Structure 1
Amino acid sequence: MNQQPIVLEPNSLYFPPVENADEEGLLAYGGDLSPERLLLAYKSGIFPWFNEDSLILWWSPNPRMVLFPKKIKISKSMKKVLKSTQFKLTKNTCFQSVLDNCSAIEREGQEGTWITSNMKTAYLELHKRGVAESYEVWEDEELVGGLYGINLGDVFCGESMFSLVSNASKFAFIHLAKELQENNYKLIDCQVYTEHLESLGAEEISRQTFISYL
């Protein structure tokens, strides 16, 4: 049964059961963005998502959008892009630049950004610890796309991606899926439904099923 979101205390490293989330998936608010709390959140099927002028909000939606790496959909046009020399992919070479681009990009139906200055500081710390990773896409030596997320060892929690030229973020996402498939990862957590993610092969599963994969 859904319950009211609870307030987290900064000095208490705790989350309520994910089943307590409300209908929209909001589980709790408050707390902090310490590396320890963030890692506990991701390992528990919870993620932060809030605006600059808001309290920290913690979510665990039901259903959950995920991609099983072997189910990645690659269109004919993208197969041509992958075979061409238009883009070059790197990994973890400019994490902060990917973070900055993801926070700056304008998204339809969204005012401002949820990648706040405090969030950037938190994910940069996770990157230093080898947990947060970025994939960068280059065209003519210029950064034109990429994505970043949290690597839990057998699950990759995708956080955000950006594209300054057509197909750049898809290029990064497809390469991520292929790499994870080769390394026997269970899934990529895409959090919530979008048509774009569905077109790439992502699907919704129940929160309970998602937690079982974690």
Structure 2
Amino acid sequence: MFLRKRKMVFLSITLFLVTAVAGITQEQLRERGEVIKNVPTTHKVVALTIDDGPHSKTTPAVLAALKEKDVKVTLFLLASNVEQHPELVQQAVQAGHEIGTHTYSHTLLTRLSKQAVADELTKAEEIISKLAPKPILFRPPGGAFNQAVLAAAHERGYTTVTWSVDPEDWKCPPVSNVVQHVVSHVTPGSIVLLHDGQYPLPTPEALKQIIDQLRAQGYTFVTVSELLQYYEVRD
């Protein structure tokens, strides 16, 4: 009985500490103008994110790999591709994946006028929102942003997300290179950048191995919105 009480006290203290440090919301992050490239946390959680899709060949293979491994990811969709393959977006939503926006045309927003940036975001949102919940996460093409881009995203209620691990899978390196880079660079709270907007890509097969190897190290896979719940506010 004494040991059981000690265990209950320990669990209560642990829960209090986790609650105390995870005290920030997406709205607070937006108000602070913070760009999320990873999340400060002591928990072994990681978010896999996939950009540029959907693609008629690569996306189905990616979704199949994720279904096989029972992992949910955040897909930053290119709305011009969404127009071509709405059925793949519906499939991703039904599978429980999180949908973010990656603009309409993948133009570097820092080269555009304020109005052109607004048009890119608005057009993308209108197209994506017909097939999925309104996006609340935004990834600028190429990870390029300035204050004007961040302001436009903030006005639309987006949290801007980049990444902390990039194996450059879009360059089509061997599967083993992609896996090795991701596994060796992931730390608690990492956001991994992968792609599905072209064919062929090593990404579908690499995903399976990345998931297996990181799980063996004790990692849990979450969406970006779920990852933000682990944000540990430190003094």
The higher radius of gyration belongs to 2
- Structure with bigger helix share is 2
**Larger RCO: Structure 1 or Structure 2 (Cα < 8 Å, ≥ 6 residues apart)?**
2
- Structure with bigger strand share is 1
Q: TM-score, normalised by structure 2?
A: 0.30
